[in-house]
Amino acid sequence: MSKPSILVLEDEVSIATFVCASLSAAGMLPRATGRAVHARRELATAPADLLIVDLGLPDEDGITFITELRKTSSVPVLVLSARAHESQKIEALDAGADDYLGKPFGVGELLARVRAMLRRAAAAPTAPARLRVGELEYDRASRELKLRGAAVHLTKRELALFDALARALGKVLTHRQLLAEVWGAEQVDQLHYLRVYMGHLRSKVEADPAEPRYLLTELGVGYRLADE
Ligand code: CA
């Protein structure tokens, strides 16, 4: 397999340098730019396999960049958010970013996220019909969920919630994305629905619902189904 090409859109030179050095050392081909306008020009001539986008850019905010990008491209986007842009990371995910890292972050965390995203992008464009995570087995066609081989009985709504997370396996879904998908577009602010149903699901599949192994909380952002 050829080396994955990564475009890093980050105006802080020290961070861009650190990110590029880490990706190179891991066998990837990174390039960096600090301006959204340059990134767009760059992508028009040399597409990338993945983008790393800082939300605080000098010429444009990262959300506008991602919104524009999503009109023409489904390339995976990892967002970097400084504390000052915490609330924007949710907007960025809603706008079509695939994952995020808060600054400061470590090399291990960066590479794990990038590898997981490349893996997902390389897999079939549609979610697999059957998936297995730890002791959970899910068959999308028959909508059957098993835990250690025994059927887990889910209500229609619990199943819809689990199915949404399963289709995005490993990827964070924001509260709004989950609410829109499971309850409908007019219910996107009903965060308590989500909390209640996530509690039901966890009590059925987690050995310790307070320390979930499968249904992971992304604090203040949303949830993801663990992919390993
Ligand atoms: Ca910045």
pLDDT in tens, 133-180: 999 999 998 999 999 999 999 999 999 999 999 998 889 999 999 999
pLDDT of residue 124: 61
Rounded CA-CA distance 97/102 in Å is 14
125 upstream amide cis, omega within 30 of 0? no
Q: Is the pLDDT of residue 1 over 80?
A: no
Start-end ranges of CATH 3.40.50.2300 in the chain?
5-123
Q: What is the mean pLDDT of residues 104-119?
A: 95
Q: How far is the CA of 71 from the centre of ligand 1 (A)?
A: 23
C-alpha 61 – ligand 1 centre gap (Å): 9
Using CA atoms, how far apart are residues 98 and 83, in angstroms rounded to an integer? 19
| Mean confidence (pLDDT) of the chain | 93
Instruction: Note the pLDDT of residue 52.
Output: 98
CA torsion angle for 15, 16, 22, 26 (degrees, to 10)?
Answer: 150
State the pLDDT at residue 221.
92
CA gap 65, 36 in Å, rounded: 7
Q: How far is the CA of 195 from the centre of ligand 1 (A)?
A: 33
Q: Domain 5-123 in CATH: superfamily?
A: Response regulator (3.40.50.2300)
Range(s) within the chain of domains with CATH label 1.10.10.10: 130-225
Kindly report the backbone phi and psi dihedral angles of residue 201, in degrees, each rounded to the nearest multiple of 5, phi listed first. -60, -45
pLDDT in tens, 174-204: 999 999 999 999 999 999 999 999 999 999 9
Q: Are 57 and 81 in contact (CB under 8 A)?
A: no
Give residue 82 CA to ligand 1 midpoint distance, Å: 8
CATH architecture for segment(s) 130-225: Orthogonal Bundle (1.10)
Ligand 1 centroid, distance to 19 Cα (angstroms): 13
Euclidean distance between CA atoms 73 and 95, whole angstroms: 13
Q: How close is the Cα of 10 to the center of ligand 1, in Å? A: 6
- pLDDT of 126 > 80? The answer is no
pLDDT of amino acid 114: 97
CA-closest candidate to residue 218, choices 159, 160, 158, 178:
178
94 close to 55: Cβ distance less than 8 angstroms: no
